[in-house]
Structure 1
Amino acid sequence: MTKISCLAATLLVASFCAFGQQKSVTVLQVPAKNQFCKIDEKGLSILPSGRFVTPAGEMIRISHDPFGMAISPDGKKAVTLHNGVFTIIDIATMQDTRVPSYNRKLTSQLAHQPLAGSTFSNDSMLVQKVISSPLPNGSFLGVAFAPDSKTVYLSGGDNGAVIVYDIEHFKRIDSISLNGKVGNIDFDDSFTSDLLLNNNELLILDRGNFRLVRYDLTNKKITASIPAGRQPFGLAISADKTMAFVANVGAYAYPLIKGATKSNYDSLMIPYHPYGDNTKEAREGTRIEGRDIPGVGSPNAPEAMSVFAINLTTNKVVDKFKTGYQVGEMIEEAEVVGGASPNSIAVGKHYAYVTNATNDNISIIDYKQHKLLGHIAIKADARIDKHRGLLPFGITLSKDEKTLYVALLGFNAVAVIDVATKTTKGLIPTGWGPTRVLLSKDEKELYVITCRGLGAGPNGGAGFKAPIQGTYIGDIQLGSFQKIALPTTEALAAYTKQVISNTFEVITKVDDGTNPLPLLPGSSKSPIKYIVYITKENRTYDEVLGQLQNANGDSTLAKFGVNCEYTLPDILRPKMKNMRVSPNHHKLAKTFSFSDNFYCDSDASIHGHHWMMGVVPNEWVEANSDVSKTTKLFSNAPGRRFPGSTGSMDPEDYAETGGLWEALERKHINFYNFGEANETAHVREEWMDTATGAAHGVMVPMQKALFTRTSHNYAGFNTNIPDQFRMKQFEEEFTKKWLTGKQAMPSLITMQVPNDHGAGVRPQDGYPYRSSFMADNDLAVGRILHFLSRTKYWKNMLVIVTEDDPQGGVDHVDAHRSILMMAGPYVKRGYVSHTHANFGSILKTIYNILDVPYVNQYDVTASLLQDFFTNKPDFTPYTLEQHDPRVFDVDLAMKKYHQQIDWRKIMQGPSMDKVEDIKKEFNK
């Protein structure tokens, strides 16, 4: 644009502001605009969030999700640790070797398998070990080099071992078990976490037994077992080797229902979460259905989200530091609901520095004076700094102790922190999700690993060639290793500018208040008063909507489409002619508006249900979601009843001031939840668990804001329950509460309709094919729209339909591309949006309409989806499309519940039976 045209535009905006109701509004949005995701290893890559990544220095792509890294003492090699895999990198040539290799010439070495009949000496007590088969491959965080630069010590994770490996000869040397008797305590079910080498011993964290283990490498025995806090995660040692520091990310030690045994456990389970977090019941316990429910205590207990300082001379814990902000504090007029999540530690001669992921800050500990001195707030840009979303993870300290380098998991950058002034000097661009950062010995280079690298890219379609690691999103999305020359002041300034431009751009728009989606929360009044936010499970765009015209789809991948029998095996095509799997999805998309450029930020459910409910997954979620782990409910190791959510958030995962639920509660906006957040890691999900879809035996709190606003008669994720059963539950409760009852419909309803996730075929239950589950789901989505559009609330309603993650399918644009459809009177008819969108865009839509302040940086910088909306409403209701009975048998699905669906009643709707009457009512 020329200077003259810029001036003209400025004057035009000024005139609007001066003479009309219009006003100039500044909006932050991601830079991708209408661009689709792409990977460019030599240039700029576009992520599902709409952010760019332009990694600094030299970069190679390595196996996905590296969370541990060490550099050899001679500076020539790096070893990164993944789940069941480690990568050896030649730093000079940037060549990598994966163990195990894809061609299987290098086999897995991470299974713990001591020789049969071998003996281990733990604390001078001989323990006989006879093992005939290896314990499973595993690994979690910990990797350290011996002084010879060829021997590495690797965390065995789930198998409770440390694997000793020679990277020169590609040979396992030893396997060290953390299990066994130490003193009078017999430890079992250990789970190896972070570790480090301290002269001739290993210091090893055991997240299973909440302890620090000291292992003598010379005498091959455990010399001490020292209690740590909950879920010990990060480990560091002082310069003089006298103090060890343990960062604990766990909130609680989760108990079983009182009196539970292996024989009665199933009968004692309760049908919903026991209590809201940090309530009296959660702290002290309660009774539910005649059962004694133990409490979990205070989230501010010394063992919870803390840093333990351990004197290595006495093997005693001398300090328990509560770093970061504490639950219940008021920060910037909002109550803190999530713990600080201290995770990584850098130690100097006097001070230790701890990254608090939830708070976007670094705690300073004067460990010689036993004092917590305060925090260093990490800053990125003044326009977004008041919101969280940096998620500091790995940290390293320069030799002169003047500079900290911090991997910002949520910001795709390394922050350079000046210790003396407590200021952020600049940012260095990385790949997606940096996890660790280290300095070279001469401090001329930085080494950075990221868990998602450049993203996933396509995993299907014409011309796609499957890579050696497969096509599953979690495998195709490689991590990265970067070698970066330490930047000069000028280079750091340029890097910083690049990071910010990769993350957001500033747009000035004229707001005349006519679009039903305000530019900002409260910037104008929307005619939309009610939002129904529907999440489904695990589908990509192409496999459901790839056939739609005027959109960027690949119809060859549309196995869940309409008239999609051409995607079936030849033997099935004749009897499935004109097969209709998702007629309601197609009708809904073509009737209202849909996006062909929407992406889930998530890979799987554990990420998806965080992202979509306004919480950016922290370092615990990321690392814990990609590690092999075994639940042992009746173990004496409390960490074996670890949280590890799939469809809900655990207290370890909460954001500083929460997410969507807490934001609404702060604004006193009413909401209600059908099915979301009921699924923790240890629940039972059988066909009869219809109250919430789950039965609970391990007592895990639910978010306090959500607990009293969640239906106890709606089945969340549980593919053993038909979506048609859920619709009966939904229609009955909606009618009782908000149609025939005295209550008004809440401003926001969240719903989980999960059966498009798919499961094993069950012909006897009406699911003869994998596509049957999608057909069930499609019918449910159609029923929801049919029902809602015949209520009195429809004239002011918006319905949003999306998926929590895309992991079940394939897509020719990107493995993260998924479904976003909107419906309602103020949604355009027959419209395709090409705006790059993600979960932040959906949340921004909700927050702007309901006048709720943004919660995190992804909300602030998300795309604004005004193109979906019109100020000329069309109140015509949606009419359900019936299912294809060859694909899904409704009667069989409902048979075990002794119920039949009254389709005449369904088609009639909840209150009015004529479209003309509905139109007349809405046009009053």
Structure 2
Amino acid sequence: MAREPRRSILVVLLVGVLGACAVVGSAFFGRVGPQPDGTGVTPNHWLLTPAGLQVELGDRPLGIATAPDGRYLVISNNGQGEQSLVLFDTTTQKVIQTIPYSSPEALFLGIAITPDGRRVYASAGGNNKIRVYDFDGRAMAERAPIPLGEAKARIYPAGLAISPDGAVLYAALNLENAVAFIDTATSRVRARVRLALAARADSIGPLPYALVQAGEKLYVSEWNGGGVSVIDVGQQRLLQRIPTGGHASGLALSPDRTRLFVANATRDTVSVVDTSTDAVVGTVDLSPYPGAPMGSMPNALAVAPDGNTLYVANGGNNDVAVVDTATFRIRGLIPTAWFPSAIVVSRDGQSLYVANMKGLGAGPNPRGPNPERPAPTAQYIGSMARGTLSVIAVPNAASLRTYTTQVVKNNGFDETQKSLTQGPRDTTPHAVPRRVGDPSLIRHVIYIIKENRTYDQVLGDVPQGDGDRNLVLFGRDITPNHHALAETFVLLDNCYADAEVSADGHNWSTAAVATDYVQKMWPANYSNRNRAYDFQGGSSASAPLRGYLWEYAARAGLTYRVYGEFFAFRSKPPAVEPAPFANALAGHFSPTYAGYDLSIRDQARVDAWEAEFEEFVRRGTVPTLMILSLPNDHTAATRPGYPTPKAMVADNDLALGRIVQTVSRSPIWRETAIFIMEDDAQDGPDHVDAHRTVCLVASPYVRRGVVDHRMYSTVSMLRTMELILGLPPMSQFDAASAPMITAFQDTPTLTPYEALKPNQSLGEVNQENAYRAEDSKELALDRPDEADAQILNAILWHAVKGAHVPMPRPKTAFRSHPLQDD
């Protein structure tokens, strides 16, 4: 079969790199995205081999409900593009109806069907209403919705449940932190029951997510509260709260309703609650191997009709865990597509229906978007990374063993268990230790996070690498330091951002994971569907359970300093503050270094950093870890009064060169490694894949003048830093990744780096008559990625290449509507 060689490649990559046996400059290790044989590869290099029949659904399916007769499934697609409600016939195994919603019209998660099967309800998320449909057994017909409040109020209906008699619809009001009781006969809200709020007044609250009813009690999962609220449905009052774990999300009841199962997405567990006592009586551990960090992300549940089996959708592991409900032990695993997000079991218990949020990924698009000639068939990421439904026959014991073996191959956890969770062994210092706790020749790590460029946009003209010079926007004249660093040290031309946009990008870049909250909520924010940007310390909801890289450093007793990352928006030098929910930054955060603010040049940022660095050197107190945001390669498009795109990228380039030069001329150069990467790569074309990005490493211990074609990603870079710093992996993704061992050597080359001045003027300013200046004025640039990426990309391309030069077709894009060029 064609699948086995691909699996073998991944295993060889993990074993070879971890054992430091592979040779720099060897063959490419494949490409990300869908593969010709129906499998896939994620940007962090995990394999996707979904079991069963795969049916395309739409953009990020999150909710699923079964009609009372078991024949039909209703599925809610909740991505950043066209959202939709889908009707699936389990008899023909086909989608028979799709009801689309373009922004700002919305859906989110919740679906409920009346006991007689004649009416369907669907949460409309940011529209603050419940959509209502009549169902005649063949198709759904939308009727007047149930309004819940003002259009822009903080309400946001999520999960839905309906009473056994169909008289009451319960709606989890995610942002209102309440549950609405709705009379289905009158479509009016009878009551609102508020959940217990957090102690902090500025907290986003517990964020009710899903609901199930057992007798006179309604159970409500708290997505941000780490527990379940219990409501008396008769008295319409809150009874108590049951603590379970981080990001309580999916809920399921046993058939006799005596047990409640709660998926804890950031704890990687399922809590088992006795509904007679409301006490936790058991826990299912979904960790894939002993001592594993978070990453399984159980987020949806289903129970077999006989009550003997629990099925758990592990979004992070791309599998379904099959759990014995008597012993709470995992019998085996079933492989799925990318990020299973919803699951139901057929009434006869013979079939599983699993919705996969990202399908097989995006990959190449021969009909990619062309801003100059919009077409309804253009391949945007919203239509490329299509969510799927896996229709899986419930496996017998032998088939389950086979499936389990496949999941282990897909995720590489066998190698992880043998090589990445062992204690220190090698007492010989290496630049990059082989295991956590082994000594390193490097004592200082500087990590620079930049904004949104693809590899080809910057380095596509480097002849040694796999580039396309026709896609270069910011070549050697504009980015001489990027080029010099890549050619002087190591050129990494097969390196990918694990993220899609900045919302998940800054989480992947600093935590090696984007939680289920981030992955499910950024599409609503990016598509203007009434959800705030709270993904970088703006609330506690987005944070992994054990926090971010600097928090790991704090627990390890390392010194650290953060510059601009996770800052409080609109705070400015000399009083820049950490974001309100960014932990462990007080006293470790530079007040003089600007965060994301495109009105401030990167030269000013480096001036502020350099002043602190030189004082640290003078005192002999240079922090072990320094994290810097260097954002101006994002650009402000052609907004009048701002530097031109070329000038902003040149500013960013010189700032980067100055940092490396300053460190390389300092006494700590001998013991330092500088890692540089974009948080994501969404803003431009790349001939391999739009996730491919600029990755650079500078250190005396980096091998000089070599090209490393190995496939790396964000988590590979983080894993390398963790090994140097003696920190454990933060997630299962960096734990399973291949560190950049072969790009390093143990003998230092101490030659300092000399920063190069770009030929491009840093003072060049956009004029009122600049290309699409009026459109640039309308772009939202206050926060990362607020600007529409397609419009921004089109403006950048034509501003640099010329108004009449056709824009190439990107491999992926991150908006959904076609553009009209002026």
1:401–1:419 CA contact under 8 A, matched in 2? yes
Task: Name the residue aligned to 1:4.
Answer: none
Q: Which of 227, 230, 235 is equivalent to 1:309? A: 230
Q: Which of 701, 714, 739 is equivalent to 2:581? A: 701
Per the TM alignment, residue 359 of structure 1 is displaced from its structure 2 partner at its CA by: 1.2
Task: Name the residue aligned to 2:159.
Answer: 194
1:221 equivalenced with 2:188 (yes/no): yes
Q: Which of 666, 680, 684 is equivalent to 2:570? A: 684
Normalised TM-score (structure 2): 0.81
Aligned counterparts, 1:529-678, within 5 A: 529-562=443-476, 580-628=477-525, 644-648=533-537, 650-678=539-567
Q: Which of 723, 746, 750 is equivalent to 2:627? A: 750
Cα distance in structure 2, aligned partners of 1:487 and 1:92: 19
Cα distance in structure 2, aligned partners of 1:494 and 1:176: 47
- Change beyond 3 A, Cα 1:80–1:710: same
Q: 3-state SS of the aligned residue for 1:308?
A: strand
Q: Which of 306, 324, 327 is equivalent to 1:421? A: 327
Task: Name the residue aligned to 1:814.
Answer: 689
- Change beyond 3 A, Cα 1:542–1:647: farther
2:537–2:581 CA contact under 8 A, matched in 1? no
Task: Name the residue aligned to 1:739.
Answer: 617
1:798-817 per-position Cα deviation (integer Å, ceiling 9, x unaligned): 11110111121222222211
Larger radius of gyration: 1
Task: Name the residue aligned to 1:237.
Answer: 212
Give the stretch that moved more between structures: 309-318 or 486-495.
309-318
Q: Which amino acid aligns with 1:658?
A: G
2:512–2:733 CA contact under 8 A, matched in 1? no
Per the TM alignment, residue 662 of structure 1 is displaced from its structure 2 partner at its CA by: 2.2
Cα distance in structure 2, aligned partners of 1:532 and 1:804: 15
Task: Name the residue aligned to 2:220.
Answer: 246
- Change beyond 3 A, Cα 1:449–1:599: same
Aligned counterparts, 1:494-505, within 5 A: 494-504=402-412
Per the TM alignment, residue 643 of structure 1 is displaced from its structure 2 partner at its CA by: 6.7
Normalised TM-score (structure 1): 0.73
Indicate the RMSD between aligned Cα atoms, in angstroms: 3.2
1:397 equivalenced with 2:306 (yes/no): no
Q: Which of 356, 365, 375 is equivalent to 2:283? A: 375
Q: Which of 701, 708, 711 is equivalent to 1:826? A: 701
Q: 3-state SS of the aligned residue for 2:483?
A: helix
1:295-342 per-position Cα deviation (integer Å, ceiling 9, x unaligned): xxxxxxxxx332111121221222211113xxxxxxxxxxxxxxx111
Task: Name the residue aligned to 1:209.
Answer: 176
Per the TM alignment, residue 796 of structure 1 is displaced from its structure 2 partner at its CA by: 1.5
Cα distance in structure 2, aligned partners of 1:471 and 1:463: 6
Per the TM alignment, residue 844 of structure 1 is displaced from its structure 2 partner at its CA by: 1.4
- Change beyond 3 A, Cα 1:475–1:802: farther
1:609–1:649 CA contact under 8 A, matched in 2? no
Per the TM alignment, residue 345 of structure 1 is displaced from its structure 2 partner at its CA by: 1.1
Per the TM alignment, residue 859 of structure 1 is displaced from its structure 2 partner at its CA by: 2.3
1:562-610 per-position Cα deviation (integer Å, ceiling 9, x unaligned): 3xxxxxxxxxxxxxxxxx2222111111111131111111111111111
Per the TM alignment, residue 188 of structure 1 is displaced from its structure 2 partner at its CA by: 5.7
Cα distance in structure 1, aligned partners of 2:498 and 2:694: 12
Per the TM alignment, residue 162 of structure 1 is displaced from its structure 2 partner at its CA by: 0.5
Task: Name the residue aligned to 1:75.
Answer: 70
Percent identity, aligned pairs only, is 30
Give the stretch that moved more between structures: 420-429 or 201-210.
201-210
Per the TM alignment, residue 220 of structure 1 is displaced from its structure 2 partner at its CA by: 2.6
Give the stretch that moved more between structures: 385-394 or 50-59.
385-394
Task: Name the residue aligned to 2:732.
Answer: 857
Cα distance in structure 2, aligned partners of 1:541 and 1:450: 29
Cα distance in structure 2, aligned partners of 1:207 and 1:502: 35
Q: 3-state SS of the aligned residue for 1:85?
A: strand
1:73–1:148 CA contact under 8 A, matched in 2? yes
Give the stretch that moved more between structures: 419-428 or 60-69.
60-69
Q: 3-state SS of the aligned residue for 1:764?
A: coil
Q: 3-state SS of the aligned residue for 2:34?
A: coil
Cα distance in structure 2, aligned partners of 1:780 and 1:164: 55
- Change beyond 3 A, Cα 1:871–1:629: closer
1:604–1:806 CA contact under 8 A, matched in 2? yes
Q: 3-state SS of the aligned residue for 1:653?
A: coil
Cα distance in structure 2, aligned partners of 1:651 and 1:463: 36
Cα distance in structure 2, aligned partners of 1:467 and 1:500: 42
- Change beyond 3 A, Cα 1:379–1:847: closer
Structure 2: 5+ residue stretches without partners: 1-17, 197-204, 420-424, 768-822
Task: Name the residue aligned to 1:282.
Answer: none
Q: 3-state SS of the aligned residue for 2:452?
A: coil
Q: Which of 847, 850, 859 is equivalent to 2:722? A: 847
1:334-386 per-position Cα deviation (integer Å, ceiling 9, x unaligned): xxxxxx1111211232111111112111112112123232422224234xx53
Q: Which of 754, 778, 782 is equivalent to 2:657? A: 782
Per the TM alignment, residue 422 of structure 1 is displaced from its structure 2 partner at its CA by: 1.2
Per the TM alignment, residue 173 of structure 1 is displaced from its structure 2 partner at its CA by: 1.2
Structure 1: 5+ residue stretches without partners: 1-22, 102-107, 112-135, 181-185, 251-303, 325-339, 563-579, 633-639, 893-924
- Change beyond 3 A, Cα 1:150–1:545: farther
- Change beyond 3 A, Cα 1:789–1:394: same
1:187-217 per-position Cα deviation (integer Å, ceiling 9, x unaligned): 9653211112221321111123211111111
Q: Which of 375, 395, 400 is equivalent to 1:487? A: 395
Task: Name the residue aligned to 2:814.
Answer: none
Cα distance in structure 1, aligned partners of 2:460 and 2:91: 45
2:287–2:294 CA contact under 8 A, matched in 1? no
1:154–1:162 CA contact under 8 A, matched in 2? yes
- Change beyond 3 A, Cα 1:310–1:728: same
1:761 equivalenced with 2:761 (yes/no): no
Task: After the TM superposition, list the runs of 4 or more consecutive aligned residues in structure 1 that deviate by more than 6 angstroms.
Answer: 23-27, 460-467, 507-512, 629-632, 692-696
Cα distance in structure 2, aligned partners of 1:643 and 1:319: 29
2:512–2:714 CA contact under 8 A, matched in 1? no
1:517 equivalenced with 2:432 (yes/no): yes
1:151–1:165 CA contact under 8 A, matched in 2? yes
1:103-151 per-position Cα deviation (integer Å, ceiling 9, x unaligned): xxxxx3x89xxxxxxxxxxxxxxxxxxxxxxxx4122211123346564
2:680–2:693 CA contact under 8 A, matched in 1? yes
2:303–2:311 CA contact under 8 A, matched in 1? yes
Q: Which amino acid aligns with 1:165?
A: Y
